[in-house]
Amino acid sequence: MVAPHGFGYLGQALSAAELFAVLHERYRPGEDSLVVSPGHYIIAAYAAGAEVGLLDAAQLATYGFDDSALEAIGTERSPGVELTAGSLGTGLSGAVGLALADRFDGRDDAKVFAVVSDGELEEGQVWEAALFAAHHRLDSLVVLLDANDSQVDGPVSSITTLEPIADKWRSFGWAAFDVDGHDVSAIDEALTAALAAPSPVAVICRTSTTHGLACLPPDADGHFIKLPPELAAAAISELEARLA
């Protein structure tokens, strides 16, 4: 999806691949809601959606091109999700609204999954939404936080100190689990616990924007990776060899 353009949001796909894979084992389209707060993460939602039949896999070849339904940064018309946000930090507010609406409608079995990035935690609106969700005991709400320590200006940890992330969520009245975001079993176990919790839950997934591709140069910009043809070919060969 990224290779035809020579650059793009490959780092977000690499950091969140396992997160989206496990999530799509639990997400029930038409019953649950899926919110992708950082719009550029929509690439991972498209890829996972194609794997489970939410999208036609052939559509993936149109990603990021003019007039494609699969825009590089998600919009209100992006398929495969209920909501994706333009301005960073706003998706959790939308997820809270969906969870509250489910309660008003008596949809007690519905879940709302919100994918959030660690850089978004620098936005005050995230914490306002977190306070509201805890106050109203929105136990149908599960945040999956991709903590890849990457944002456009550099490492998140060098710009704003977020740690201890899990303790911050707990202090706001949430349950929180801190896991290896590339360990499918760990994410699955945390999600199982999250779905049974009597409060909103944050699953903090510790990840890397270069995970899974040894061919990427050590100085690859995780936020927006350049992928010239020779590097794209090396990446595809590496992935296909692993599947053989």
Residue 113 pLDDT class (50, 70, 90 cuts):
very high
What's the pLDDT score for residue 211?
A: 93
What's the pLDDT score for residue 152?
A: 83
Average pLDDT over the chain, rounded to an integer: 95
**Cβ atoms within 10 Å of 145's Cβ, excluding its own:** 29
What's the pLDDT score for residue 153?
A: 85
CA distance 198 to 238: 43
DSSP 8-state assignment for residue 147: E
Please report, for the chain, the start and end positions of each structural domain, with discontinuous segments joined by +: 15-36+87-243
Best CA proximity match to 219, nearest among 233, 203, 231: 231
What's the pLDDT score for residue 16?
A: 97
What's the pLDDT score for residue 220?
A: 85
What's the pLDDT score for residue 218?
A: 87
pLDDT at 53 over 90: yes
Residue 208 pLDDT class (50, 70, 90 cuts):
very high
Best CA proximity match to 175, nearest among 119, 137, 207: 137
Question: Can you read off the two tokens belonging to residue 116?
Answer: 């959030």
Give the model confidence (pLDDT) of 85-109 as tens digits.
878 899 999 999 999 999 999 999 9
SS3 43: helix
Give the model confidence (pLDDT) of 150-204 as tens digits.
888 888 898 899 999 999 999 999 999 999 999 999 999 999 999 999 999 999 9
By CB neighbour count within 10 A (0-12 exposed, 13-18 middle, 19+ buried), where does 192 fall?
A: exposed
What's the pLDDT score for residue 219?
A: 85
Average pLDDT, integer, range 51-71 = 95
Polymer length of the chain: 244
Average pLDDT, integer, range 145-149 = 96
Task: Judge if the upstream peptide bond of residue 164 is cis by omega within 30 degrees of 0.
Answer: yes
CATH superfamily membership of 15-36+87-243: Thiamin diphosphate (ThDP)-binding fold, Pyr/PP domains (3.40.50.970)
143 Cβ partners below 8 Å, 6+ apart?
A: 92, 95, 114, 115, 116, 169, 174, 200, 201, 202, 203
Lowest-pLDDT choice from 130-139, 169-178, 234-243: 234-243
* Helix ranges, the chain (H): 10-26, 42-51, 91-104, 124-135, 156-159, 165-171, 184-196, 229-243
Q: Which residues pair with 72 in a beta bridge?
A: none
pLDDT > 90: percent of the chain: 89
> Which amino acid is it at 129?
A
CA distance 32 to 8: 29
